[in-house]
């Protein structure tokens, strides 16, 4: 029965790799993709592995020569484990390519899958060695085992199938998620009144002010000067201040594009600390641009006819 | 950001006055001719030639010299040197300072390349990730997030984590997040345990 | 198809990571075209192929007319508000438009709805701050 079980698992896994539409998805993120120089080659390699798995599966299921088929399966399991070990050593973040759904980095479960095939192959191999006077743990070809003791054989098959499902299937989705849903139904949403909702209900998170600013005309008007992301923020007397840094040089703007051209400036925006994207009226936003070295106010809009594309482009 | 000294307060007072005394923009063209429709009337907006092409780098920080020069190993093995200046913005879950940047952190940096190959950074985003996930578990201080077939822990950080529901304004109320929803999580990866501190979770309909 | 002046589409853009990377991005892989890299000016288009369309389904958000642009297509992406621009090459399939129907990114009251483009950090950071997560764009080719 072990041969049937391992053959079934290898057959499913091999045919998915060989014929599946998702094989490129499966190959992406694997060490194969990185080492073979691209997804097309990694996909071809994965399909070749799938074909080999399918052949071993057919041999396991159809051929009554456990010595050979067991050795093949054990070899396949060893190969998988060696590949996983190599991938983990050379590219720890890569996924194993075992299934299209599972793009998580190689972990214990991936090694357990290889171990399952290796152990199954070893049992079948041991069965083959029974000819040399050793005990036969798998009890001969699966059809003979099924004929001689159908209840025991089917029980073994069912237990093996559960183990295979735990290793190769998606038990999380089937078991853990429904349990979590049930817990939410029974005990309510844990984030009602949680850490995020303890403050002033009218308070706008700073990110909300930034979002409002970056979609405003004020931003559009001075964005050609701004080069940084948000540097700092503070609230004072109902206002929220957001500071950015940038470069401004009216003499050279549009001239030679020299590196670092321009005077370093602070661009400070002031807005209602409680204004957000869903505020009923357009926000009032004030803008001040200050020369970092002299402390003088700078008028950065003089002579500008359009909002500029400050950051330029690259390919 | 929380360590506000007297000099910081003085500088902020000065900058606040500059902003409040500056131009006011109220959804109208208060500062020169600005007309988005007119800008798009041209087949493509012209680019400003004044700006040198920007450089971009990504990778893991392998060392920090003098608190401001970051040695970075790119994901394809390349080496970068990123210089933080007093004009560089640094994001690590929130706008912060160079003191919060650590060896082992990942980063994306945009700036100008100097003649010696160092990138003088305009903006550095440390450990930032923007992940397409599925909500697979909701706890009091964390979310379980399905990502690429695995599961990530998304930590809810009081005062930092926000949510946006179907494009609405950001709120710090995360109680609208439901099991099974697709979400985009912007956050800061934590190298020490692989979890992600959530800055913003955006969920659809 | 080039980084040129012909209008193609408009909508909301987000950013994503791909290729070898640090942190959770490490398992992202090279994308649908196999050569996507976070540090290059690359992008993901929801109609990069028929299989891609099946995943993103922009038609469910009323964006059914998005034309097919496969691996290697070049586009100019212009940020709605600042008008800053970047030229990108399509190397992946995305974003998952159908999950965020109706979501809008606005500039001065003019809104672009529905996610129709994913940019790598290199590309996105040239037109907006990575910490903004999403932004309104116009796309030319």
Residue contact C31–A38, C-beta within 8 A: no
Domain ranges for chain A, please list them: 2-180, 206-291
**C66: its two tokens:** 């998005």
Mutate to test the interface with A, among B16, B50, B154 (most CBs of A within 10 A): B50
The range of the structural domain enclosing residue B94 comes to 55-126
**Cβ neighbours for A181, distance < 8 A, ≥ 6 positions apart:** B179
Q: B with C: how many residue pairs have Cβ under 8 Å apart?
A: 134
> What is the set of domains in chain C, with CATH numbers?
7-140 (2.40.40.10)
Assign domain A206-291 one CATH number from 3.40.50, 1.10.1760, 2.40.50, 3.10.450: 3.10.450
Kindly list the residues from chain C whose CB atom is less than 8 angstroms away from the CB atom of residue A230: 129, 131
User: H/E element holding A214?
Assistant: helix A206-214
What CA–CA distance (Å, rounded) separates A69 from A57? Answer: 9
Residue B32 belongs to a domain: no
Kindly list the residues from chain C whose CB atom is less than 8 angstroms away from the CB atom of residue A219: 81-82
Residue contact C30–A93, C-beta within 8 A: no
Report which of A97, A77, A87 is spatially closest to residue A10, judged by C-alpha positions: A77
Give me the CATH number covering residue B171.
Answer: 2.40.50.140
Secondary structure tally for chain C: helices H, strands E: 2, 8
Q: A with B: how many residue pairs have Cβ under 8 Å apart?
A: 260
10-residue mean pLDDT profile of chain A (315 residues): values are: 85 86 73 77 88 90 83 90 87 69 72 88 81 55 77 84 80 79 87 62 86 85 89 92 88 45 88 83 84 84 44 27
**B169 in the same domain as B133:** yes
Helix A66-90 with A39-62: angle, nearest 10 deg: 150
Residue contact A276–B179, C-beta within 8 A: no
Out of B86, B109, B126, a domain closes at B126
Percent of chain C with pLDDT over 70: 98
**Cβ neighbours for A281, distance < 8 A, ≥ 6 positions apart:** none
- The partner residue sitting opposite A105, judged by closest CB among C27, C85, C106, is C27
DSSP A21-44: TTHHHHHTTBHHHHHTTSHHHHHH
**B191 in the same domain as B164:** yes
Output the pLDDT for position A16.
85
Output the pLDDT for position A255.
39
**B117 in the same domain as B59:** yes
Please indicate if any CB of chain B lies within 8 Å of the CB of A244. yes
State which residue of chain C sits closest to A210, comparing Cα positions: C132
Give mean pLDDT, residues B147-170: 88
Output the pLDDT for position A310.
28
Q: Is the pTM of this model over 0.90?
A: no
Cα atoms found within 13 Å of the Cα of residue B124, Cβ hemisphere only:
30
Residue B14 belongs to a domain: no
Output the pLDDT for position B37.
43
Out of B104, B126, B148, a domain closes at B126
Please indicate if any CB of chain B lies within 8 Å of the CB of A25. no
**Cβ neighbours for A104, distance < 8 A, ≥ 6 positions apart:** A95, B148, B149, B150, B151, C27
Name the C residues in 54-73 with CB < 8 Å from any B CB.
none
Residue contact A282–C109, C-beta within 8 A: yes
Output the pLDDT for position B47.
41
Residue contact C84–A104, C-beta within 8 A: no
Mutate to test the interface with C, among B112, B162, B204 (most CBs of C within 10 A): B204
**B137 in the same domain as B112:** no
Give me the CATH number covering residue B121.
Answer: 2.40.50.320
Residue B90 belongs to a domain: yes
Kindly list the residues from chain B whose CB atom is less than 8 angstroms away from the CB atom of residue C81: 36
Report which of B56, B121, B50, B133 is spatially closest to residue B91, judged by C-alpha positions: B121
Residue contact C108–A42, C-beta within 8 A: no
**B199 in the same domain as B141:** yes
Subunits touching B (CB < 8 Å, at least 3 pairs)? Answer: A, C
| Counted domains in chain B | 2
Output the pLDDT for position A194.
55
State which residue of chain A sits closest to C108, comparing Cα positions: A216
User: H/E element holding A158?
Assistant: helix A150-168
**B141 in the same domain as B111:** no
Give mean pLDDT, residues B180-186: 92
**B104 in the same domain as B71:** yes
What CA–CA distance (Å, rounded) separates B53 from B31? Answer: 27
Out of B77, B93, B126, a domain closes at B126
Residue A2, φ and ψ in degrees, nearest 5: -65, -40
Residue B12 belongs to a domain: no
Output the pLDDT for position C32.
85
């Amino acid at each position: 029965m072990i041969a049937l079980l391992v053959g079934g698992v290898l057959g499913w896994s091999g045919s998915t790799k060989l014929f599946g539409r998702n094989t490129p998805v499966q190959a992406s993120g694997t060490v194969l993709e990185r080492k073979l120089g691209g997804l097309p080659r990694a996909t071809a390699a994965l399909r070749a592995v799938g074909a080999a798995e399918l052949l071993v599966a057919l041999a396991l299921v159809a051929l009554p020569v456990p010595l050979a088929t067991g050795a093949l399966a054990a070899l396949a399991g060893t190969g998988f484990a060696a590949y996983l070990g190599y991938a983990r050593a050379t590219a720890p973040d890569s996924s194993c390519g075992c299934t299209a759904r599972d793009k998580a980095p190689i972990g214990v479960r991936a090694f357990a899958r290889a171990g399952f095939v290796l152990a199954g192959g070893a049992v079948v191999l041991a069965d083959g060695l029974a000819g040399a006077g050793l005990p036969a743990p798998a009890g001969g070809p699966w059809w003979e085992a099924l004929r001689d003791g159908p209840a025991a054989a089917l029980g073994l098959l069912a237990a093996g199938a559960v183990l295979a499902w735990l290793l190769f299937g998606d038990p999380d989705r089937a078991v853990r998620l429904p349990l979590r849903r049930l817990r939410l139904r029974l005990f309510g949403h844990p984030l009602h009144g949680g850490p995020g909702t303890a403050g002033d209900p009218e308070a706008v998170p700073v990110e909300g002010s930034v979002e409002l600013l970056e979609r405003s005309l004020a931003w559009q008007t001075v964005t050609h000067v701004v080069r940084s992301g948000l540097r700092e923020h503070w609230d004072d007397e109902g206002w929220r201040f957001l500071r950015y840094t940038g470069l401004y040089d009216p003499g050279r703007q549009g001239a030679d594009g020299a590196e670092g051209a321009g005077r370093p400036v602070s661009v400070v925006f002031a807005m209602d600390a409680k204004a957000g994207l869903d505020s009923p009226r357009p926000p009032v936003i004030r803008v001040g641009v200050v020369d970092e070295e002299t402390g003088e106010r700078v008028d950065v809009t003089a002579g500008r006819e359009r909002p500029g594309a400050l950051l330029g482009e690259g390919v | 950001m929380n360590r506000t000294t007297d000099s910081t307060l003085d500088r902020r007072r000065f900058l606040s006055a500059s902003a409040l005394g500056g131009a006011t923009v109220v959804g109208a063209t208060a500062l020169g001719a600005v007309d988005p429709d007119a800008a798009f009337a041209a087949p493509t907006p012209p680019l400003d030639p004044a700006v040198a092409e920007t450089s971009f780098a990504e990778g893991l920080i392998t060392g920090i010299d003098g608190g401001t020069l970051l040695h970075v190993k790119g994901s394809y093995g390349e080496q970068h040197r990123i210089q933080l200046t007093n004009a560089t913005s640094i994001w690590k879950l929130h706008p912060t300072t160079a003191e919060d940047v650590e060896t082992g952190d990942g980063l994306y940096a945009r700036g100008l390349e100097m003649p010696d190959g160092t990138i003088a950074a305009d903006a550095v985003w440390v450990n930032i990730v923007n992940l397409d996930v599925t909500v697979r578990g909701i706890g009091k201080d964390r979310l379980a997030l399905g990502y690429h077939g695995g599961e990530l822990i998304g930590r809810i950080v009081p005062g930092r984590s926000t949510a946006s529901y179907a494009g609405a304004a950001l709120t710090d109320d995360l109680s609208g997040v439901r099991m099974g929803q697709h979400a985009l999580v912007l956050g800061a990866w934590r190298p020490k345990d692989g979890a992600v501190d959530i800055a913003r979770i955006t969920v659809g309909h | 198809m080039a980084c040129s002046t012909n209008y193609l589409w408009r909508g909301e853009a987000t950013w994503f990571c791909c290729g070898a990377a640090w942190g959770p991005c490490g398992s992202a892989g090279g994308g649908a075209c196999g050569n996507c890299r976070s540090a290059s000016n690359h992008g993901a288009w929801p109609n990069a192929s028929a299989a891609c369309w099946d995943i993103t389904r922009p038609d469910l958000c009323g964006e059914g007319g998005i034309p097919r642009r496969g691996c290697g297509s070049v586009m100019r992406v212009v940020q709605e508000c600042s008008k800053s621009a970047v030229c990108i090459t399509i190397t992946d399939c995305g974003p998952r438009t159908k999950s965020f129907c109706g979501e809008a990114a606005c500039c001065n009251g003019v809104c672009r709805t529905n996610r129709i483009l994913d940019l790598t950090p290199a590309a996105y950071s040239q037109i907006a701050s990575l910490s903004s997560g999403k932004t309104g764009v116009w796309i030319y080719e």
